[in-house]
Structure 1
Amino acid sequence: MTKFIDLNSDLGESFGQWKMGNDEAILNVVSSANIACGFHAGSPEGILKTLKAAKANNVTVGAHVGYPDLVGFGRRNMDIATDELSADVIYQIGALKGLAKSIGANVRYVKPHGALYNTIAYDKRQAMAVINAICLIDPSLILVALAGSPLIGWAKESGLCVVAEAFADRAYCADGTLVSRKEAGAVLHDPDLVAERMLQLVNDGGVISVEGQFVDINAESICVHGDSAGALAMAQKVREKLHQNGIIITPFAKTVAA
């Protein structure tokens, strides 16, 4: 039986003269692009450039929404009021939709970024603020959520289509949560190790945790962070390893829609 998986990466995060990642090269490897919307990173011109490159490479586009935290790159926890957070998310999705429309591209999904992603995985108040925002602006958008998190159930109960995600370049705890970036070894950098882990994820439904235990991870998409050291090499190795083992890389937006 043929297996399918999506590869995604966080892109469009450069800001003016400050460059982040290698969007054009990564877009030759991934099938979905989580594009920054200006709150944690990304300038309008840079975002539009990434959208154009994604369209040229037939890569599916999603809104990478985050906290209003340019200085902290969206990785600092923020206790934002419910209405304010919903408005922030609507604003970001709307901005990306407008830029995409200008070049004939479509935004198909939403993937929260950084601290917002981790917070709403378990914090129901903030999660519902994000879910309600998506329902208000475009309920057809797919929500990308941490595999195994309560967020998946909350979003489905609200009528959203949800895709569970795993991380190629992050270490996992035995309970299925990501190892904190404050801890040594939280971010993986060895392309061969990362590729083997992702092959195990697709074939066996999980990976080995930092405690040495196998942890179940039911995921339909794999993320390789665009800002990680060696991100391009890791993405290329993951794609190569999966392809060699008969696994087809395809946007989850296509398989979910089907």
Structure 2
Amino acid sequence: MEIWAPMQLLSLVLLLLGIVLAVSGIRLSGWIVAWILLSGALLLQGFRSTLSYLAEHGGVDPATYRVANDWMGLGFSLLIVASMYLMREVFAKHRHAEDKLSIVSTAARDAIIMIDHAGRIAFWNEAAQRMFGYSAQEAQGRKLHELIVPQRYRSDSDKGFAAFSSTGQGPLIGETLELTGLRKDGTEIITEHSISAVEINGEWHAIGIARDVSGRKAMQRELEQQLDELRRFEKVAVARELRMKELAEDNRALRERLPKAGRK
């Protein structure tokens, strides 16, 4: 009986836990439920071993042992099948989620980059490959600041990320701002970044969505130059118009004085 007491207690705890989960509406990970079922199967197998030991030493009559062992064997098989089914479903959902992420990230026109708590690239989509020139194999595992940040900005970037990795906060988090990026061929581009923080397994990761706005900035500079030229032309035109008015007034005054001079 001393052997049965702790096993009965553990069995009761698992049973009560299952009842609470069933009626509480709490949504648990499929992994947790699968492990509970698997633990129950192992516990039931322990009961069978104990029952076998008792039957061998005369503690249980053979008829009772056969019935109990058959039912426990059935329960053990059902629990194993259920736990394996749940694990298969969890794996399938993870694969489905990864497939959806892959489809979305591949179709995205913006670069999607995730770095881990050490500042190393953990995710690098196809748009990031096109934007910066590095393949996913080349980028993953590399430190982001050493890969795409120009040398003159790296010290400040390292300091800022050191603070972010411990708190998940920083001046760039949740903001959309323009940053200078460095391509594989050494050319610099202007990128518009939106950066978010996410906590994974107790460690802070950063997810950035970047867009190359170099073309837009170049067009904006060209428009500004054209506007400057128009403003200069306008100033010249206005000055010329004022001068023409002054000359017209002088000419009118001169004509008015000429007749008077002739009469004298």
- Taking structure 1 as the reference length, what is the TM-score of the superposition? 0.22
Report the structure number with the largest CA radius of gyration: 2
Whichever structure has more helix as a proportion of its residues is: 2
Ranked by relative contact order (alpha carbons within 8 Å, sequence separation 6 or more), the top structure is 1
- Taking structure 2 as the reference length, what is the TM-score of the superposition? 0.22
